Chain A
Amino acid sequence: MNTKNLIPLSLLYIQYNLEMSFFFKLHEMGLLEILTVDETKYVRPESVHEIEKMIRIHEELEVNIHGIDVILNLLEKIELLQNELISVKNRLSLYES
């Protein structure tokens, strides 16, 4: 696998000043995809947005990994509902003069 576009996990420990175990726990919970190439662990660049969100929730709100999982599930649900609401509002305009 070409690792050119991947981000070594070791870089993230340093960058965020976090324990390695934090990332492995996220991986165990199915919240983070960790790729292993030649015994080096990487994450995809597109995961960084979610990683940073999870770190903020963890550090700023003192939420543990299980809590992060619950929050992300609820946020996903909110997003679906918000999109549905937009779609319903758009349809409603059909019946408004």
Chain B
Amino acid sequence: MAFIDYYKILEVDKKATEAEIKKAYRKLARKYHPDLNPNDKEAERKFKEINEANEVLSHSENRKKYDDYGENWQHAEEFEKSKQHRQYQGNGQKGGYEEGGFSGSGDFSNFFESMFGGRSTAGGSRREAQFKGQDFSTELHLDLKDVYSTHKRTLTINSKNIRITIPAGVENGQQIKISGMGGEGASGGPKGDLYITFTVANHTEFKRDKNNLYASVALDLYAALLGGEITVATFDGKVKLTVKPGTQNGTNVKLKGKGFPIYKKEGEFGDLYITYQVKIPTDLSQKEKDLFMELSKLKTS
């Protein structure tokens, strides 16, 4: 557990007055307040940090204790004991300090909790009493294959199991709100909501743009030249395609309705676009070379 420099966090001098500390705190709070920085974990962390610094430096008793022990904070308890008992001989024990002895709510660092007991002193700057229950938010990591079909999943939120339906076609980065799945309200207030943000990873050969899928298909030179029938993989199966004679490299073909499911439109799908990549044969045998030469001459004559 490292020492935390609260003066540095609030960007003030060690000799800063109460008014200067208040001003510095207000300025930083306006910058990092969670309501002004939604979905920003770094701002949330900074906000907790400046609140903790303010909790210590804006209360004279806390500030004095912090200033007195400074970087020797780990021995604070020992010093306090020695003072009380007026015993100045060193003792090798660590007093009443117990690491992890406090089950903080996560709003304060271990450093703070070990020094001040993890409790906010009266007059904290955050409004505690809320009418509406707390909103919860979570991230759900899924694979593209998972979101191809509507399915149910059980999430554990604050040690409570919640079964939710994930509609097919959810997009990467999409956030959904499930009303009433947050914390209990106070004094009959409404329950909080649950916000789920989806991270959808794509490990398939298909590229996705909303409801449309894109894929490259290797096309044999002879099929491109003479035409023919090929089998192409779609996201959930295979389809037979007729290749026209003289198909150029890079030709795009649209397969209607073979794309990705459209979010909350059951049974509706986007399209699949395939791009032909004509494979030019390499390592030709002598006979093949001769035949290509013959073809080449035929074309120029």
Q: Does A75 sit within 8 A of B, measured CB to CB?
A: yes
| CB–CB A61/B190 < 8 A | no
| Cβ of A5 to closest chain B Cβ, rounded Å | 9
B: interface residue count bin: 20 to 34
Decide if B75 is an interface residue (CB 8 Å cutoff): no
Of the candidates B26, B209, B210, the one whose C-beta lies within 8 Å of that of A62 is B26
Residues of A within 8 A of B38 (CB): 75, 78-79
Q: Judge whether A1 is part of the interface by a CB distance below 8 angstroms.
A: no
Q: How far is the CA of A93 from the CA of B171 in the complex (A)?
A: 13
- B residues less than 8 Å from A55 (CB atoms): 127
Q: Interface of chain B, helix or strand or loop or mixed?
A: loop
Shortest beta-carbon distance, A23 to chain B, in Å?
13
Q: Is the CB of B35 within 8 A of A53?
A: yes
* B contact residues around A93 at 8 Å (CB): 202, 207-208
CA distance A46 to B129 in the complex (A): 18
Q: How far is the CB of B132 from chain A (nearest CB, A)?
A: 4
With beta carbons under 8 angstroms apart, the residue of A52, A60, A87, A94 that contacts B130 is A52
B33 touches A82 (CB 8 A): no
Interfacial chain A residues near B187, Cβ < 8 Å: 11, 15
Closest 4 CB pairs of A and B: A86-B173, A48-B132, A45-B190, A15-B131
Interface residues in chain A, defined as those with a beta carbon under 8 Å from any beta carbon in chain B: 7, 11-12, 15-16, 45-46, 48-49, 52-53, 55-57, 59-62, 71, 75, 78-79, 82, 86-87, 89-91, 93-94
18 CB < 8 A contacts A-B: A11-B188, A15-B129, A15-B189, A46-B190, A48-B131, A52-B132, A56-B33, A56-B35, A56-B127, A57-B36, A59-B127, A61-B26, A75-B38, A78-B38, A86-B173, A86-B174, A87-B171, A90-B208
